[in-house]
Amino acid sequence: MLTTLLILLEAAGVAKLGAGIGAGLAAVGAGLGIGLIGGNFMEAIARQPEAVGDLRTNMIIAAALVEGVAFFAIIVCLLILFL
């Protein structure tokens, strides 16, 4: 069983396996990060409804930064996969 697993890893390439896992982790991490940002935004609106404009701007900037990092990580994983 172990030798079969080793043969499969050598055939697929460990880099490809790592790229797939890395892309998945990047997507999950981005989803969790944006979810936390949105949840905290709703909590902040509930506490101070008059500050909605400033909070929305900060939330959009933070979500864009999280997504930018996630896209970068996924692109790096895809480059490893195809190069």
Give the tens place of pLDDT for each residue, 48-64.
999 999 999 999 999 99
pLDDT tens-digit profile of 2-21? 677 666 656 667 777 788 88
CATH number, domain of 25, equals 1.20.20.10
Residue 5 lies in a domain: no
Q: Is 58 exposed, middle or buried (0-12, 13-18, 19+ CB in 10 A)?
A: middle
Q: 15-38 in b/e burial notation, b at 16+ Cβ within 10 A?
A: eeeebeebbeebeeebeebbeebe
Identity (one letter) of the amino acid at 16?
Answer: K
CA–CA dist 43, 74 (Å, integer): 30
Domain span holding position 63: 13-82
2 found inside a domain: no
1 occurs within a structural domain: no
Position 23 pLDDT exceeds 70: yes
Q: How much is the pLDDT for 1? A: 59
